[in-house]
Structure 1
Amino acid sequence: MKRPRFLPDNLTLMLLTVILTASFFPCTGQVAVAFDWLTTLMIGLLFFMHGAKLSREAVIAGASHWRLHLTVLLFTFAIFPLLGLLLKPALLLIITPDLYLGILFLCVLPSTVQSSIAFTAVARGNVPAAICSASASNLLGIFLTPVLVGMIVVAHGAGHSSLDSILKIVYQLLVPFVAGQIVRPWIAPWIERHKDVLKMVDQSSILLVVYVAFSEAVEQGLWKQLPLYMLVSLIGISAVMLAIIMALATYSSRRFGFNKEDEITVVFCGSKKSLASGVPMAKVLFASQSVGMVLLPLMLFHQLQLMVCAVMAQKYASRKGT
């Protein structure tokens, strides 16, 4: 397996390009309306493909290791959000309320799938358990993330009304996802043969949503409201949060008596957040004028988690023994 690099991944580079494009050439008027409709369709397609790709067998296969999976889910959907809430007094001293909402949104997202499994494999951890935990996190995230957004994010002042959010979640996320699961037995072989094409659909959906969101944010004066020191502060906040979560995950794994392979799985699956799920969810759950600000912390955290986990995976891999 190819080693993760301590460099920006291709998606991050494309995201930076899209943000620069939106900063200088934002879409406005009828073009923005057309792009907004297109993003809605792309999000539906994205979640349809998520449903079709997610193997129920992969989730069931490792379910017997329930203590490990419960630990990962607690970090993802309980400890991470609690950390975001506890840090609120300090964070609001250095960042705007909109960016803090982005931090809260980041905290309630599910874990990544591909990178969690890849880093676990490189680190010589429990790969079957990582597949199960990461898949279960993404499956539960379809339901839990909107609920947590309603409980702690919308309560802090942004996002759609509860009824509006529920309706959008149902027809833009859940219906396509369930449809994908239903037709999976018939299209799974086709999906396996066209993974590269489906990856392009995933990335294109993310890039389109980011372009539309940042176009709207630029029109609202994003860069006038966001000085350089605040961007640096966001990077520092992301680093602190990631360090706290990884330290807690390591400590908890050892206290619970997990072996080294299971510890690796908990650390990598429990500390990361999914950009692929977060971008379309933000488009559905938040008012359009706030999506750009909400997504900024997630995009910074995404790159930081890849860089840190690349180093951690190599450190774990270099340990003695099998």
Structure 2
Amino acid sequence: MTGLFMHDDCLNHITPEGHAEQVARMTSVSAALEPVSGLDRREAPLCEEADILLCHPEGYLAKIRDGKPAQLDEDTWQSEGSYQAARRAVGGALAAVDAVLAGEMKNAFVACRPPGHHAETAKPMGFCLFGTAAIAAKHALERHGLSRVAVVDFDVHHGNGTQDLLWDEPRAFLATSQQFPLWPGTGAADVKGGHDNVLNVPLAPKTTGAEMREAYEAQVFPRLEAFAPELILISAGFDAHRADPLAQLEWETEDFMWLTERLCGVAETVCGGRVVSLLEGGYDLDALGESAAAHVRALQAA
């Protein structure tokens, strides 16, 4: 069975009117997933501060925890409810890892916000406060004793935060595809991590779904299979959709379904199908909801 982790606290992370990472993203995903039957629906729990400290230093945690509503950088905001929402996002990710590794569900999707893959070790950025995917990877390695965990990030923007947080972790492999050039300006193919544990797959503007499929078949899936992770985490950003206003890739909803199916197929081969997917970007509300629903249905079919 596929698990779905959500929480209404994620509606309380408030950004200014007109901001791309808005509350309506959550309501759009929730509405799209409401008619999907057969899901093990659970509330995302609050993570503990010790969980965040798996990747971030105490001083950084204190700044986010104790911070007043403010603009943290050019596009990252914190409101009264942001810290609680971010703790739900991390808590949902860790609970999903726990449930999948315990065999309670085969795979899971964590539909929470704010997203996480741009948050660096001591720097919020790109709408993100905590490195949710990297924390989930560390949780699986340190608390569950796994030897190898992979993160696959198909958000249109480079997962610079995940790369930063896992750079020196030889037990973690990160494969990330992104439009290049595009904000945040990182993600070149010659950047490989501290232990050759990072695979960056830059995609030119206007890259189609067919071209993406070729890139994944040629580069990502062989490396993923060779690494043989015991768990695959997905940073599932749906902003590579051709309708998205913040980028210029030309994927269709069917491409996200194909990519999910193929990742689940690799997972079936190397780790008994154990996959935990985390919501990242996606800023056209209709495309976001449709793509998230397609993603979840592909997880269910695995």
**Would the TM-score normalized by the shorter structure come out above 0.5?**
no
The higher relative CO (CA closer than 8 Å, separation ≥ 6) is in 1
Which has the higher Rg, Structure 1 or Structure 2? 1
Structure 1 or 2: more strand by fraction: 2
